């Protein structure tokens, strides 16, 4: 395993001082098509980089069609698994890109999506294990999107399920976990305390108010979270640059919700 290689790559997608990260996922085109904010990927990446995000995340189409030869640099996390909204089972995520391809494309990290509790959980965990082994071999950081979804799951934001999903990822050898926020500082602290690697919160669908979004960011960090991975709430915002400056202020500079709202 290349420990130095992994350390160098991790520093490209995480803040060296806070050891937290602000990631903007742009993988929605695979499942939802050309939604608002992802029609012109180059333009969106420009705004995300200008706003101060640490990394963008997407399928191989992101570096192929969104790579810029100008502007502020930004980390690249390549997503390796996929399904579409037209699939008979959209919760069944399959590997579509190998780790080696991400290396060739200049990625700083890779990510895999696992729906814990889904009918095909076993196959997805097998894919995560295979990917984790390859990542250790190449010194490539691995982010796992771990969501409780399935017949046994009555609430995808319940701490009792989220903390199992997060810990399972750490047990598989991932470096960063992306999962749902559980709704309160106290309940999310159960998740972060039980997971030995950074846990970043997902944004999910557009939130009703900007204040609600900032409270989620602030409270997740207060609970020991490692930052955020928010897509639609950022690239579909009226001003993605200001939105990211506000989020980054909370994550990396310790801003209050009020200070973040002033930025907006």
Active-site residue among 108, 163, 178, 219?
A: 178
Give every CB contact of residue 237 below 8 A, 6+ residues apart in sequence.
Answer: 243
SS3 44: helix
DSSP H stretches of helix in the chain: 3-13, 28-32, 41-51, 61-66, 99-104, 121-138, 159-171, 185-193, 210-222, 232-235, 240-253, 257-263
Active-site residue among 27, 46, 175, 219?
A: 27
178 labelled catalytic? yes
Active-site residue among 47, 93, 147, 219?
A: 147
| Nearest-angstrom CA–CA distance, 48 and 19 | 19
27 labelled catalytic? yes
Q: Based on C-alpha coordinates, what's the Rg of the chain?
A: 17
92 labelled catalytic? no
Provide the annotated active-site residues: 27, 147, 178
């Amino acid at each position: 395993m290349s420990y130095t290689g992994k350390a160098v790559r991790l520093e490209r997608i995480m803040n060296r001082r806070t050891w937290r990260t602000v990631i903007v996922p742009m993988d929605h085109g695979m499942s939802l098509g050309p939604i608002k904010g992802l029609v012109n990927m180059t333009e969106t990446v420009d705004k995300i980089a200008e706003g101060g995000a640490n990394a963008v995340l997407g399928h191989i189409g992101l570096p192929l069609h969104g790579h810029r030869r100008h502007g502020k640099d930004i980390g690249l996390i390549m997503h390796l698994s996929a399904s579409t909204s037209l699939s008979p089972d959209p919760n069944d995520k399959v590997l579509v890109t190998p780790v080696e391809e991400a290396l060739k494309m200049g990625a700083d990290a890779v990510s895999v999506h696992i729906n814990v509790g889904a009918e095909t959980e076993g196959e997805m965990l097998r894919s995560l294990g295979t990917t984790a082994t390859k990542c250790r071999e190449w010194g490539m950081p691995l982010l796992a999107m771990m969501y409780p979804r399935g017949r046994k799951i009555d609430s995808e934001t319940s701490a009792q399920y989220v903390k199992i999903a997060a810990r399972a990822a750490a047990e598989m050898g991932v470096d960063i976990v992306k999962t749902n926020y559980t709704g309160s500082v106290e309940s999310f602290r159960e998740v972060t305390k039980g997971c030995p690697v950074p846990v970043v919160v997902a944004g999910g669908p557009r939130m009703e108010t900007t204040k609600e979004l900032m409270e989620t960011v602030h409270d997740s960090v207060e609970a020991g979270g490692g930052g955020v991975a928010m897509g639609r709430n950022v690239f579909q915002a009226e001003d993605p640059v200001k939105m990211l400056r506000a989020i980054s202020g909370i994550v990396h500079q310790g801003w209050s919700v009020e200070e973040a709202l002033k930025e907006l």
